[in-house]
Structure 1
């Protein structure tokens, strides 16, 4: 079983429009509403690939109830820990060639609620082959909490993937995760002043076993125990990039539990990320695009 952690769970709303008029009235062509947050998106992709998953995190209020209801309707098992505050809604506005994302901050979490989650998390790790810890932190959660979760997993022999930004990313390597997965902009903020290769190597030197940098249409860069690799994309996929990184992370987590060699692991992860761009909502991927692009990815 792969456990995914989404501390700032959300109800994701996606509006697809022909074009956005920021000074006028917009007619929405298609609306999608579903449980979201990065860990939930990862779980959806893994479940679509036939993997056993379990979603945990924090959820509260009417929005949290809607998140839990959608997980049940989607057949995704969950062990969400309740909080008193209302969970957030995120809004994606997507027009051809452009996407805007609006993220609410989420609830404020109390120390007791966080302690309850940490206890439950330790229990859930007993049956986990890997854990994915990803997304933003709600208010009240310390910036080094992902490092704490990764360390708890490491101490129990469970490999962790951390996908975060800002201070949580800077702290993450201290928890000795198996993989840290920033995108190029997140890496530049965490380790300013150097190349992507230098930044990834720096995060690895701080405790991460491997660092994988997603670079959009330029593919992936990875610094691993087996060496440094690049995954080159054969062509650019147009669409909605929201959730592409989550699909990529799903591929990396699957590689961890299967023990896949790094070149094959990166090729599958890159293909899943590209195929997610072709899907209308985060947590989905286009199987035809995946099948076409996967064998064409070049690992060097």
Structure 2
């Protein structure tokens, strides 16, 4: 069974306007809300591609209930840890000149609720299950929280995918996850070194595999494509020439497809991941990939070994 864990979910509210004018009334043409948070996005994509997962997240207030209703509508199975604070809402202004993203701060979650996360995992996760841990942490929670959660899951015999940035990524790696999914900026921040070539990415990736006892690194490189680095092989895929509407959610779509298809083999799962990532940029706002687009793009993905 696949589970996703989102510690700091949010509602993404898109406001569509023509342009921003100082000291003038801005008329909003359209408002669109999306349930958001990296783990939630992974579960949504798994559902879209015909799979089953359980999205575990901390949700509170009316915003939290709205996210639950939206997940119900999409048919995503979820397990909510109700918190006493309102789930945050991010504001994204979409204009003819570009996009402006306002990421709202969350509020502190009680230690009791944080402890509930481990209790829920203990109640529903079993040996050989998969848990995808993604994204940021609530305000005031130490990155070490991820160290403990991942270490505990590994002790239970769970296969862990981990997607985070900065100190959270560093702390989580100490818990020994099986797979990480950094993008090009996140991996360079991790190793504190600029990387210019695919060969360098492979070399640095192999060092990380050895240092942290990882099985695989899924590396998304934006317009430069993606890589799958493991001890046995290193695969690379170029991005497709598709019309880009929004790159938001592409990495989550990539990860979701790989996790869902991992049983069919690394190379084929990597192909599915790339099809999903490319399909995601074809959708507006924070919409994720569509299954029909993924299936149409799948045969176009070219995977080579480095």
Instruction: Give TM-score scaled by structure 1 length.
Output: 0.90
Tell me the residue number matched to 2:19: 20
Tell me the residue number matched to 2:272: 268
Preserved contact between residue 240 and residue 278 of structure 2 (Cα < 8 Å)? no
Tell me by how many angstroms 1:217 deviates.
Answer: 2.0
Partner-residue secondary structure (3-state), 2:125: helix
Tell me the residue number matched to 1:200: 205
- Structure 1 pair 203–80 and aligned structure 2 pair: CA distance change class (3 A): farther
**Stretch moving more, 27-36 or 53-62:** 27-36
Preserved contact between residue 97 and residue 239 of structure 1 (Cα < 8 Å)? no
- Structure 1: distance between partners of 2:203 and 2:94: 34
- Structure 1 pair 118–283 and aligned structure 2 pair: CA distance change class (3 A): farther
- Structure 1 pair 201–100 and aligned structure 2 pair: CA distance change class (3 A): farther
* Matching of residue 239 in structure 1 with residue 238 in structure 2: no
* Matching of residue 296 in structure 1 with residue 300 in structure 2: yes
Partner-residue secondary structure (3-state), 1:296: coil
* Matching of residue 3 in structure 1 with residue 3 in structure 2: yes
- Structure 2: distance between partners of 1:120 and 1:142: 20
Partner-residue secondary structure (3-state), 2:19: coil
1:99-143 CA-partner distances (Å, limit 9, x unpaired) = 332221212122221111111122221287311111111113220
Preserved contact between residue 34 and residue 286 of structure 2 (Cα < 8 Å)? no
Structure 2 portions without partners, runs of 5+: 196-200
Q: How many residues align?
A: 297
Partner-residue secondary structure (3-state), 2:278: helix
RMSD value over aligned CA atoms?
A: 2.2
Partner-residue secondary structure (3-state), 1:284: coil
Tell me by how many angstroms 1:96 deviates.
Answer: 6.0
1:219-263 CA-partner distances (Å, limit 9, x unpaired) = 11221132222111232441111111110110121133xx23222
- Structure 2: distance between partners of 1:275 and 1:198: 29
* Matching of residue 173 in structure 1 with residue 173 in structure 2: yes
Preserved contact between residue 163 and residue 169 of structure 1 (Cα < 8 Å)? yes
Preserved contact between residue 217 and residue 236 of structure 1 (Cα < 8 Å)? no
- Structure 1 pair 95–297 and aligned structure 2 pair: CA distance change class (3 A): farther
Tell me the residue number matched to 2:124: 124
Instruction: Give TM-score scaled by structure 2 length.
Output: 0.88
Tell me the residue number matched to 1:224: 230
Counterpart mapping for 1:73-152 below 5 A:
73-95=73-95, 98-126=98-126, 129-152=129-152
Preserved contact between residue 14 and residue 93 of structure 2 (Cα < 8 Å)? yes
Structure 1 portions without partners, runs of 5+: none
**Stretch moving more, 26-35 or 220-229:** 26-35
Preserved contact between residue 206 and residue 231 of structure 2 (Cα < 8 Å)? no
Tell me by how many angstroms 1:163 deviates.
Answer: 1.0
Preserved contact between residue 58 and residue 81 of structure 2 (Cα < 8 Å)? yes
Preserved contact between residue 135 and residue 164 of structure 1 (Cα < 8 Å)? yes
Preserved contact between residue 127 and residue 156 of structure 2 (Cα < 8 Å)? no
Larger Rg: 2
- Structure 1 pair 22–147 and aligned structure 2 pair: CA distance change class (3 A): farther
Tell me by how many angstroms 1:95 deviates.
Answer: 4.2
Preserved contact between residue 165 and residue 186 of structure 1 (Cα < 8 Å)? yes
